[in-house]
Amino acid sequence: MSAEKIINEWKKNIFKPVYWLEGEEEYYIDQIMNYAEHNLLSENEAGFNLTVFYGKDSNWADVINACRRYPMFAEKQVVLLKEAQQMREVDKLESYVEKPLGSTVFVVSYKDKKVDGRTRFAKLLKEKGELLTTKKMYENKLPEWTKDLIESKGLTISQKALMLLVDHIGNDLSRIDNEIEKIRINLGSKKNITETDIEENIGVSKDFNVFELQAAIAHKDLAKAIRIVQYFEGNPKAGPIQMVLPSLYSFFSRVFMIYGIKTRDEKTIAATLGLGNTFFVKDYLKALNLFTYPQVETILLLLHHYNLRSVGVNDAGTEDASLLKEMIVKMIS
């Protein structure tokens, strides 16, 4: 069951006695915990029937005793155990999970860890309650997820702005949500997020970023590529070499793969490469027309070579910007 389905069931007053929320993706765990804390009980009910524990500061026996209490002036009570991965002997909660109280909704967040699915505890969690295991989202799913989130807030976003946002933040879903909320507040009456909004609110230049660098190299525009690297040199956080090199490698790896795709239809190429949209396909095809198959192979080798140099292998400490400029000249020439 997903976080959305759990919350939807709660809205319909459908409850299980135990919810165990585990795994790598904190966003969904926090989403459920926040809803449980602020929405399952009315303000008057919460005063008597909401108990919140933190794993580091709590004892398993105290948590079980709280869960076994009966609600006061309400049909149910809610017991939350946050950061359960920090609790000593957390597995002793098994005795309560085996015989939970029907009037208690017990919700546990167990971040960055998972219960061994082979254990009796895991089987009890599935039998008596709801076990939700979360995973980090794959990079290629982020644009679609982010766009859906933006639309759920009644907004739209340009394709370039979307890619700038996702590339800058990565798969930190909580931060993506927070940044979108910040932009929404600053938009005022506007409903569409543009590259300028991303630049002004998040600090990502719409003209000097890794996507523009990729496009400049793909079009063999050496002057523009060097200007972008010079911007990175003056603004190290905008384009650290540790981010630029993997992005360029990913770009030219996909160009390399397109040689094995018979069609040049953008939608088919995007689907074959596992991309959520066709945004970069035009640049891939442009590079395909300007670089030969052996040249793309050479570029991939250059990227590997300069990645080693960037971490000090066979290099006495050349500045990152100088490495990028040298590499780009070799790529384009």
DSSP string, 271-330: HHTT-SSSTTHHHHHHHHHHS-HHHHHHHHHHHHHHHHHHTTTT-S---HHHHHHHHHHH
Q: Are residues 70 and 27 in the same domain?
A: yes
pLDDT of residue 238: 87
The reply to whether the predicted model has a pTM over 0.85 is no
Domain count within the chain: 3
- Counting Cα atoms < 13 Å in the Cβ hemisphere of 183 gives 30
Domain range for 241:
210-332
9 contact partners, CB below 8 Å, separation of at least 6: 15
The whole-angstrom distance between residue 68's C-alpha and the CA centroid of its chain comes to: 37
pLDDT of residue 187: 92
Query: Token pair for residue 221?
Result: 């525009």
Nearest to 298 by CA among 260, 264, 261, 255: 255
- pLDDT tens across the length of the chain (333 residues): 789 999 999 999 999 999 999 999 999 999 999 999 999 999 999 999 999 999 999 999 999 999 999 999 999 999 999 999 999 999 999 999 999 999 999 999 999 989 888 899 999 999 999 999 999 988 888 999 999 999 999 999 999 999 999 988 888 999 999 999 999 999 989 999 999 999 999 888 889 999 999 999 999 999 999 999 999 999 988 889 999 999 999 999 999 999 999 899 999 999 999 887 888 899 999 999 999 999 999 999 999 999 999 999 988 889 999 999 999 999 998
Nearest to 254 by CA among 241, 273, 233, 236: 273
Residues pairing with 195 in the sheet: none
- Using the 3D structure, point to which of 115, 134, 153 is the last residue of a domain: 134
Q: Are residues 153 and 275 in the same domain?
A: no
Q: Are residues 67 and 154 in the same domain?
A: no
Q: Are residues 183 and 122 in the same domain?
A: no
Query: Dmax over Cα atoms in the chain, in whole Å?
Result: 78
Q: Are residues 223 and 177 in the same domain?
A: no
Distance between CA 220 and CA 224 in Å, rounded? 9
Phi first, then psi, for residue 59 (nearest 5°) are -105, 140
Q: Are residues 190 and 272 in the same domain?
A: no
- Using the 3D structure, point to which of 82, 112, 134 is the last residue of a domain: 134
Q: Are residues 259 and 310 in the same domain?
A: yes
Query: Token pair for residue 333?
Result: 């020439």
Cβ-defined contacts of 6-15 (< 8 Å, 24+): 6/32, 6/130, 6/132, 7/31, 7/32, 7/35, 10/35, 10/36, 10/39, 10/40, 15/76, 15/105
Distance between CA 291 and CA 297 in Å, rounded? 10
- CATH number assigned to the domain comprising residue 245: 1.20.272.10
Angle at 55 between CA 113 and CA 61, to 5 degrees: 115
Q: Are residues 226 and 273 in the same domain?
A: yes
Q: Are residues 14 and 124 in the same domain?
A: yes
Q: Are residues 286 and 273 in the same domain?
A: yes
- Using the 3D structure, point to which of 134, 157, 184 is the last residue of a domain: 134
Q: Are residues 7 and 117 in the same domain?
A: yes
- CATH number assigned to the domain comprising residue 160: 1.10.8.60
Pairing of strands 18-23, 50-54: unpaired
- CATH number assigned to the domain comprising residue 38: 3.40.50.300
Do the Cβ atoms of 103 and 72 come closer than 8 Å? Answer: no
pLDDT of residue 75: 93
Give, in order, the Cα–Cα distances in Å from 77 to each of 41, 118, 307. Answer: 8, 31, 56
Distance between CA 309 and CA 283 in Å, rounded? 27
pLDDT of residue 226: 96
Q: Are residues 265 and 294 in the same domain?
A: yes
pLDDT of residue 167: 86
